[in-house]
A and B are shown apart, each in its own frame.
Chain A
Amino acid sequence: MLEWDIRTWRHDGCLEPLYDIENRENEIIVTIDLPYVSKDNIKVYATEDVLEVMAEMRSAVSWERWGSIQRRITFSRFRKQIRLPEKVNPDEASATFRNGVLRITLPKVRRQVSIKVE
């Protein structure tokens, strides 16, 4: 499947980051790659089924001749809204930021319980 990537290189200074979702037994782990970002400039919001991340870059990044349009393009922040594959408890969510990657752990609402086999 080819992705029409121009959607992710927007012209409003906002860039969609690369991200990955891991659906574990009791939790959903979302990681997001955020180059040029410091921990203090990241905002994470979560509801039961949507995660939203906004991050300001330390300084704007510009390219003089971007793509086939050959125009100057500048980015200063990342923004991504992710619909989660299952409902989570946002009050128990946690996040860490290391080596330029944000990792958010979202415990699922309905956790699996162990059933005794007799």
Chain B
Amino acid sequence: MGEVRVVEEEEVKFEKPVVVEGLPDVGLVGTIAVSYLVDKLEFREIGYVESELFPPLMVVHDGELKNPVRIYGSDTGVLAILSEVAIPPAAVYPLTRALTDWFKERGVGLMVSITGLPVPNRIEIEEPEVVGIGNSKDAIARLKEKGIEVMLEGFIVGTYAVMLKECQKRGVPAVSLLAQCFPVYPDPGAAAAALRTLERLIGLEIELGELLEKAEEIKLKARDLMRQTSTSLAEMQKNMEQDLPIMYR
């Protein structure tokens, strides 16, 4: 009960692969960004993650039965993790532990979570800014080397926060990229900003024109996942990200 299993259907053959994770969070920034990455760079499905803690559902795509939480790989040495369902709060810790154990076994060189940073004035922002968080001095140095602004203070809440911590415990270098976003609306503009920063961080080229052209279609198609995710995030006290942590120093 409560176990999360990472199932590899195709062996990971790369040394020190980069993993890009886009699990549902505010503005669905990571989900939209990683879906686009997987589609645009023609990643192939290499595995999935299963658990009794996930909603009892499967997805049908082009008549084919699929798990909602899937792992993709490409010939560039980049792996991607994508979910089509909101992660229930009870599954966050077991899921991140299972994934980070797998990252350690596969010798992952860098784990990158893509997510959003909700801002109340997003409606007025044309070009969302992106900040990074690293789980070690080396990871922070990597962000700074690429000219990515680093978050200095604040609470971080959700799967990506636990993922950073679990990677830290296992010595897996990890960063999160947070793009300014709408908290409760799918935000393809923020996803594009996050992907531009990812390009700089890992030296990948991604053509972003189609993402911005199809922004309205994406917003409409993602609305149900956005609703599920908003409910799940409220349970995780996501609104704490707007608070200042107490610091004595």
Chain A: residues with CB nearer than 8 A to chain B? 1-3, 5, 8-9, 15, 18, 20, 31, 33, 35-36, 61, 75, 96, 98-101, 103
Contacts and interface: CB of A to CB of B under 8 A. Distances in A.
A20 B216 contact: no
A18 B228 CA distance: 12
Given A5-B227, A61-B220, A100-B216, A33 B182 contact: yes
Contacts of B44: none
5 contacts: A20-B184, A20-B185, A75-B220, A99-B189, A100-B219
Contacts of B217: 35, 61
B231 A33 contact: no
Nearest to B234: A1
B185 A18 contact: yes
Given A1-B231, A3-B227, A36 B216 contact: yes
B interface residue count range (under 10 / 10 to 19 / 20 to 34 / 35 or more): 20 to 34
Contacts of A2: 228, 231
Contact of A99 (B123, B184, B227): B123
Given A35-B216, A101-B123, A18 B189 contact: no
A99 B124 CA distance: 8
Given A18-B223, A33-B219, A3 B184 contact: no
B199 interface: no
Given A36-B216, A98-B124, 12 more contacts: A3-B227, A3-B228, A18-B185, A20-B183, A33-B219, A35-B215, A35-B217, A99-B122, A99-B123, A99-B126, A100-B219, A101-B185
A101 B125 CA distance: 12
Interface string B123-136: 11010000000000
B190 to A, nearest CB: 11
Contact of B220 (A31, A36, A98, A103): A36
A103 B123 contact: yes
Contacts of A103: 123
Nearest to A17: B223
B231 A3 contact: yes
A5 B85 CA distance: 14
A18 B227 contact: yes
